[in-house]
């Protein structure tokens, strides 16, 4: 008697995994501008903290 191949076994029916949606897609330019803005605020408050 022959052994069945792996292809003959029924595979469990699983729904495809949902696509991960991590919110908004932010462009690289906008990320750089936001980073400069945050860095500018940090420098401003650091510079004038002793005044």
Please write the tens of the pLDDT for every residue from 6-49.
Answer: 556 667 787 777 776 667 788 999 999 999 999 999 999 998 88
Torsion of CA 24, 27, 32, 37, to 10 degrees: -50
Looking at residue 50, the DSSP 8-state letter turns out to be T
* Structure confidence at residue 17 (pLDDT): 72
DSSP states of 23-46: S----HHHHHHHHHHHHHHHHHHH
1 has a pLDDT exceeding 60: no
Looking at residue 13, its pLDDT comes to 82
Contacts of 34 (CB under 8 A, 6+ apart): 26
Give the per-residue pLDDT at 49.
Answer: 83
């Amino acid at each position: 008697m022959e052994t069945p191949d792996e292809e003959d076994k029924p595979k469990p029916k699983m729904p495809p995994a949902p696509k991960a949606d991590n919110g908004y897609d932010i462009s690289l330019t906008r990320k750089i501008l936001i980073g400069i803005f945050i860095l500018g605020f940090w420098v401003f408050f650091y510079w004038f903290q002793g005044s």
